[in-house]
Structures are given as C-alpha cells and as structure tokens.
Structure 1
Amino acid sequence: MPSIPLQRTLAIGSLVYAATLWGLMWYPYRLLNDAGVGGIASSFITYVVPLLVFGWLHGRELRNARSRWMWLAALGLAAGWTNLAYVLAMLQGEVVRVLLLFFLSPLWTVLFARFLLHEKLNRAGWAVMALAAGGALVMLWQPGEWPLPASRAEWLALSAGVAFAMSNVISRHLDGVTEGAKAVTVWAGVVVLTLIGLALKPAELDFMADAGMQTWLLLLGVGLAIGSMTYAVQYGLARVPANQAIVIFLSELVVAAVASYFLSDERMGVQEWIGAAMIITASLFSGHMEDDQLKEARHV
C-alpha cells in the first residue's frame, strides 16, 4: 500500500489530471456539435460508454452501499446535472465566462455544508461568500441592468456550479462508500437525465443515420476520457479536503483560458478579469476553511 505522503501526491495529481482534461473537454464537444451531435445526445453517449465499460466492475460495491441509496440517488442527480449543464453551457456560451460562473461553487459549498453537514460558517467562509458574490456582480454588471446571467448558457453554468457544490458535499457525506460506487452513480445520473432530455428532444438522435466512423470514434474517446476523469475525481476527493479540491480544480480555468485563446476567438475584457480575480481569490480562501474547521473540531 502506498505511504500517506505518496497517496496525497497521487490524489492531488489525480485532481490536476481531471481539471486539465475538463479544461480541454469543451473542444471535442464543440467538434461533435459541429458534426451534428447535440449536447444532450453527446452527453448521453459519452456517459453510457464508461457506464457500460466499467460499471459492471462495481456491482458488489453498489450492493454494499444500498443502505445509503437515497444519498447515492441525490449524488447521481446533482453530479448528473453538473455534467449535462456544463456541456450545454460550453456549447452555447463563452468558455471562460462559463467557467467563472461555474467556479462560484465555493459560495454554494459554504451554504450546503452549513445546512447539510452542520458546519459553522467561520471568517474564511464569510470571506468566500463576499468575494465570490462580489466577483459575480462585477463580472455580470451592466449599466441599467440587474447583474444577472445574460444568456441561457450563463444560467446553465451557474446552475452547474450549484450542482457541483452539492455533489461535493454529498460525496463528503458518503464517507465509506467506495470511489467506484460513486463513479457509477455519477455516470448513471447523467444517463438518466439525458434520457429524459432525449425523450423531450428525440430529434437529437437523428445524427445516427449519417454519422461517420470519425464521429463515433470521437464519442468513444471522449467517453473513455470521462471515465478516467470520474475515477480521478473520486479518488482525489476521498483523500483531499473538498475545499482544497476546489482550489486544485482552478487549474481548469488556466487550461481553458489558454485553450480558448488558441482554439477560438474568445477574449475577456477588463471587467471580466476583475471579476475573475475576485472569484479565484474566493476559491483560494476556501482552501483554508477545512483546516479551520478541523482545528475547531479538535478543541471541542
């Protein structure tokens, strides 16, 4: 068994790996969209792939966790919406703005941890909320208008961040459930939600009549990459405090910003950069919240 320092290094490396791939994943989804594969259909297929390829390996783990099925179902729905809304937002909006709204998640993590895990809001928590909310207001502010998301993509990104925070808190609550069982739950959650979406928009499956081998190979490759990312995230979250994981996930912003610079014509203005700095600072503050809470717990 690896030593504790090595386990921690592997856990942090796993989260960086996942964040890097997610910072690039918007591009193949846009390629698929250009090939006629809509966001709901591509999400369905790319999450069915790891569910079918790897899901059967964790049947016993899921059975062992059946006493906590309600929380597993909540994790599936929260993580399912996180991933589906994220993909749809990336297809419809600007990459970096979508990510900035998504990374308001420390604010929601503070709230959910307070009500679901009964964690007290310390000074760092208030700083996280104020900075994250202030960054959003700066980024979204327009003269004469309410500082709210201005498009469907931005609302999707905001809701994905809320669901991401919820899934992280639920994952922390499911301590003792294996990473494999949680990974299958995440894949199944996306598949269930996308099946509902396809029932409402069956035309998204029309691409199957004309799809070439290149499209199917891209779908398969994205699905396998998502499978590896889900394992990496669950492995990392089981060994790294959730608030510290949020900080590590910020590397996704850097990767996505660089990728969007070279792969698209998207650029941010000064106002967006100021809001981004505030949101990133909020996430950095959130990395110290877990330590504060552990210190409080030791003195109880």
Structure 2
Amino acid sequence: MSSKQKILSVAGLLSGALVWGVMWYPYRLLHGMGVGGILSTLITYCVAMLLGLFFMGPIWRELRHAGWQSIVLLASAGWTNLGYVLATLEGEIMRVMLLFYLAPLWTLFFSYWLLREKLNSFGYAIILLSLSGAFVILWDARHGLPLPQNLAEWIGLSAGMSFALMNVMVRRIQHLSLNFKVVSAWFGTALFTAVLAGYQDSFMTGLQNIPTDAWGWLLAVGLAICVITYSVQYGLTHLPANQAIVLFLSELVFAAVSAYLLAGEEIGSREIIGAGLIVSASLLSGKIHHHSSTNKIKSAWENK
C-alpha cells in the first residue's frame, strides 16, 4: 500500500468517526419531528444509495462474482447502521456507544475465523480488557449479572458485533470493487429497514405525514451518509481490520462531547473506567497485526 493510500485511508476512517460520533443528533431531531428511527433510516439510506448509484456506474455487473460473502456484508452493514440509529434514539449515548465499541473483541474472533489472523498474547489481553470494561459499565448490584439494562443497550451491543463482522468482510472481499461494497452497505441497510417497516401498521401513515422541514434534514443526512460511507469503506478496504477499529475510537470522543453539549449527558465514574478498559483493548488490537507481521505470521488470505 502506498503512502497516499494510507493517508487517504486514515483520513476516511477519522472523518467517518467524526460524522458517526454526532449523527445521532439529526436522527433525534427527526424523531422529534415525528419521523421514527426505522422510517428515517430507510429514507436516508435510500437517498444515499440513489445519489451513489448516479456516480458509480454499472456495478451490477459484479453480481455474478459476488457470492455468499456479499450477502454477509449486506446483512452485517444493514444491522450495524439501523442498530446504531435505534440504539442512540432511545439509550444514553455514551453507554450505547461503549457497548458498540466492544467491537474489537468481536473483530478478534471474526478475523481469526475469516481472515486467519492468529490469536497471540495481545489477543488474550484484548479479550480480558474488553470483558472487564463491559463488566464495569454494566454491573448493577440491583440486577446482579452485568448485562445490558434495556433494549437500546442490547441493540447497541448487537450492532457492535455486526460492525465487527462488516469490518472484517470488507477486508476479506478483495475481488469486488470498492463501489460494490459501498452500495452493499446502503442497500443492506435499506433492505433490512424496509423489511422491519413492513411489519409496522403506521408506516404508510408516517411516510405521508412527514413535515416539510424534516425532508431537508432527511436529504442532508442522506448526502452525508453517501459521502462518508465511501470514505469509510475505502479505509476499511486498505487497512487491516484490527488497525481500522483503533481509528474508529475517536468516535467515542466525538460522541462524548456532542452528548454533553447537545443532550446534557454526563459521564459517570463507571463509564470512564469502562471506557478506559475498552479503549485500551482497541489500542492493543492494532498490535496484533504488527506483531504477526514482524514474526512473519501471515493469514491464508493474505498469502493469496
């Protein structure tokens, strides 16, 4: 990888972290205008997909080469994006985001399974730190077991698992173009959301009653998603999965600042300690690839 590609990859992932660190806010504004999370997600990702397809050309030619891996990418991207919206609409931003950012733990397992990246001492440290961070954040003497306390937190946790899988799949599917991967993320989210919307009796009524000023926000968010998804997918394609997750950590900073300024949320001592453990795990995840490269341990995929 050239130095230019590396710079662009890092910039793409950091810009994605900034946008997604504050993206919860326009979705909450839309929710306040009467546009629910499922409906707003469906519209914004349809906007992103239509805008993207206009510039990307005939990517459907790659469908015959896509295979089962593209279906996994499509499904994982769909739940990652929809889960993010639903979790941040109802839950405390930082608790949800910290559970989402247990992703290095899940990335470790998916990388071993799909990329053949071998587990070493850093990997065991990541497991310990991630689980310790989750334990600190979730422990509640009244409920006993350190589990998510509400539906939003469960969604945030599962979306983080899905994000880890998407991260690894983008890295694995090297035979498909970047454009195809980007559209898969948009289409997967739109399809996933459309299926859920079909079970809502009030969906059509909500669609017909969207306020005029809400359409401006929907179009703006769709445009932002269009641009930033391409940037993020570029970074995920050219950087190792365990290094990419480290760059995404800056999203926690952007989320914490925006949650404090825009939602008045304050971070407690447990969240701070848990965040420190999870951040440490994420930082160590970048060492896995470096350590394995130094010792000439290569995955079967990387040797192709």
State whether TM-score is above 0.5. yes
1:116 and 1:11 mapped to 2: Cα distance? 22
1:46 is the counterpart of 2:57:
no
Match in the other structure for 2:264: 265
**TM-aligned CA deviation for residue 204 of structure 1:** 3.5
Match in the other structure for 1:172: 171
Deviations 1:224-253 (A, max 9, x none): 101111101111112222211111111111
1:103 is the counterpart of 2:101:
yes
Deviations 1:18-64 (A, max 9, x none): 11000010000000000011100000000000111212544533423
**TM-aligned CA deviation for residue 254 of structure 1:** 0.5
Superposed, which structure 2 residues align to 1:121-160 within 5 Å? Answer: 121-144=119-142, 145-160=144-159
1:34 is the counterpart of 2:13:
no
**TM-aligned CA deviation for residue 65 of structure 1:** 5.1
**1:99 partner letter:** M
Asked if the contact 2:33–2:211 (Cα under 8 Å) also holds between the matched residues in 1, the reply is no
When structure 1 is superposed on structure 2, of 144-153 and 195-204 the one drifting more is: 195-204
Asked if the contact 1:41–1:205 (Cα under 8 Å) also holds between the matched residues in 2, the reply is no
Deviations 1:198-227 (A, max 9, x none): 111141342333323210010000001011
Asked if the contact 2:242–2:285 (Cα under 8 Å) also holds between the matched residues in 1, the reply is yes
Q: 1:41 to 1:118 in 2, by over 3 A?
A: same
2:181 and 2:235 mapped to 1: Cα distance? 12
2:102 and 2:297 mapped to 1: Cα distance? 29
Superposed, which structure 2 residues align to 1:75-224 within 5 Å? Answer: 75-144=73-142, 145-224=144-223
Deviations 1:241-278 (A, max 9, x none): 22111111111110110111110121121111101100
2:258 and 2:57 mapped to 1: Cα distance? 38
Q: 1:266 to 1:37 in 2, by over 3 A?
A: same
1:157 and 1:121 mapped to 2: Cα distance? 26
When structure 1 is superposed on structure 2, of 155-164 and 264-273 the one drifting more is: 264-273
**2:177 partner letter:** T
2:175 and 2:245 mapped to 1: Cα distance? 21
1:186 and 1:134 mapped to 2: Cα distance? 31
Asked if the contact 1:23–1:255 (Cα under 8 Å) also holds between the matched residues in 2, the reply is yes
Asked if the contact 1:37–1:204 (Cα under 8 Å) also holds between the matched residues in 2, the reply is no
Q: 1:299 to 1:146 in 2, by over 3 A?
A: closer
2:229 and 2:247 mapped to 1: Cα distance? 15
When structure 1 is superposed on structure 2, of 179-188 and 237-246 the one drifting more is: 237-246
Q: 1:63 to 1:69 in 2, by over 3 A?
A: farther
Deviating above 6 A after TM superposition, structure 1's stretches of 4 or more consecutive aligned residues are: none
1:26 and 1:203 mapped to 2: Cα distance? 23
Unpaired runs of 5+ residues, structure 2, are: 300-304
Aligned to 2:202, what secondary structure does the other structure show? Answer: helix
When structure 1 is superposed on structure 2, of 276-285 and 114-123 the one drifting more is: 114-123
Asked if the contact 1:76–1:186 (Cα under 8 Å) also holds between the matched residues in 2, the reply is yes
**1:207 partner letter:** G
2:149 and 2:269 mapped to 1: Cα distance? 18
Match in the other structure for 1:243: 242
2:67 and 2:215 mapped to 1: Cα distance? 34
When structure 1 is superposed on structure 2, of 289-298 and 219-228 the one drifting more is: 289-298
Asked if the contact 1:85–1:160 (Cα under 8 Å) also holds between the matched residues in 2, the reply is yes
2:10 and 2:116 mapped to 1: Cα distance? 27
1:73 and 1:109 mapped to 2: Cα distance? 18
Tell me the percent identity: 44
Asked if the contact 2:117–2:298 (Cα under 8 Å) also holds between the matched residues in 1, the reply is no
When structure 1 is superposed on structure 2, of 250-259 and 109-118 the one drifting more is: 109-118
